[in-house]
């Protein structure tokens, strides 16, 4: 079976959707609890996706891996992805902590691209969990990547994403450089907004 067929198998797709269902439920519960405790909306919007065949092929190439199902199973950790966009950076860390404290799933990897942004300027928190799906009378573990970011980081990432499939000419390089510089401005917005919120809360 080739990679495309593997990714289109009904069983594979259903398992991925189950992983999304479960992580969505966990995020909703955290959102409900934090919203109540803090008296404000914590998660602004949520989305999820199963990585497309095309994107997986690009990623395998970048990593110098063959186009095989096994390579995906071993080395591609973000086939199933759930993204939650928050308003404030501290809420985002709170959610990360609450996810990591859950005993019914395992944290495989944590990449804090907020404290340590990528060279491009990209900022987000990436958490990769293994979640248990009770499937065909046995428990199977599915990897789910959770991306946590503020609306400002999401803004920036949207531009970066649009740029990524553009050809590598001079203007593209110029924009890329400007985007990187702009990542700092975005970071300052997040800090400023957080500072103002805290001062408002303290009144």
Q: Is 181 in the site for its own copies (CB under 8 A)?
A: no
Q: What are the angstrom distances between the C-alpha of 153 and each of 93, 139, 176, 198? A: 14, 36, 16, 20
**Which range, of 49-57, 73-81, 113-121, 152-160, touches its own copies by CB under 8 A?**
152-160
Pick out residues in 47-86 that bind its own copies (CB under 8 A).
none
Q: What are phi and psi of 106, to 5 degrees?
A: -115, 130
Question: Which distant-in-sequence residues (6+ apart) come within 8 Å of 82 by Cβ?
Answer: 20, 23, 24, 27, 46, 47, 48, 144, 145, 146, 147
Q: Is 179 in the site for its own copies (CB under 8 A)?
A: yes
Which DSSP string do the residues of 21-50 spell out, in sequence order? HHHHHHHHHHHHHHHHHHTS--EEEEEEEE
**Which range, of 58-66, 69-77, 122-130, 179-187, touches its own copies by CB under 8 A?**
179-187
Q: How far is the CB of 156 from its own copies (least distance, A)?
A: 8
Lookup result for tokens 């395998």? 60
User: In whole angstroms, what separates CA 151 from the centre of its chain?
Assistant: 13
Q: How far is the CB of 66 from its own copies (least distance, A)?
A: 28
**Which range, of 31-39, 68-76, 106-114, 119-127, touches its own copies by CB under 8 A?**
31-39
Pick out residues in 107-126 that bind its own copies (CB under 8 A).
none
Parallel, antiparallel, or unpaired: how do β-strands 106-112 and 125-135 relate?
antiparallel
- List residues near its own copies by CB under 8 A: 10-11, 14, 17-18, 21-22, 24-25, 28-30, 32-33, 35-37, 40, 44-45, 87, 98, 101-104, 132-137, 139, 151-152, 154-155, 158-159, 162-163, 166-167, 169, 171-172, 175, 178-179, 182, 185-186, 189, 192-193, 196-197, 199-203
């Amino acid at each position: 079976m080739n990679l495309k067929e593997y990714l289109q198998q009904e069983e594979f797709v259903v398992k991925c959707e189950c992983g999304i269902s479960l992580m969505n439920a966990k995020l909703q519960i955290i959102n409900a609890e934090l919203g109540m405790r803090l008296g404000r909306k914590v998660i602004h919007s949520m989305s999820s996706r199963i990585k497309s065949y095309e994107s997986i092929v690009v990623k395998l190439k970048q990593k110098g891996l063959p186009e095989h199902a096994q390579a995906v199973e071993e080395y591609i950790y973000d086939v199933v992805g759930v993204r939650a966009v928050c308003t404030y950076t501290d809420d985002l860390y709170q959610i990360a902590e609450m996810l990591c404290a859950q005993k019914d799933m395992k944290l495989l990897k944590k990449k804090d691209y907020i404290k340590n942004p990528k060279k491009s300027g990209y900022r987000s928190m990436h958490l990769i969990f293994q979640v248990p799906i009770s499937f065909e009378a046995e428990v199977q573990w599915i990897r789910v990547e959770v991306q946590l970011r503020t609306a400002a980081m999401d803004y920036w990432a949207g531009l970066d994403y649009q740029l990524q499939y553009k050809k590598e000419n001079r203007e593209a390089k110029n924009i890329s450089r400007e985007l990187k510089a702009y990542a700092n401005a975005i970071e300052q917005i997040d800090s400023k907004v957080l500072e103002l919120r805290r001062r408002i809360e303290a009144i």
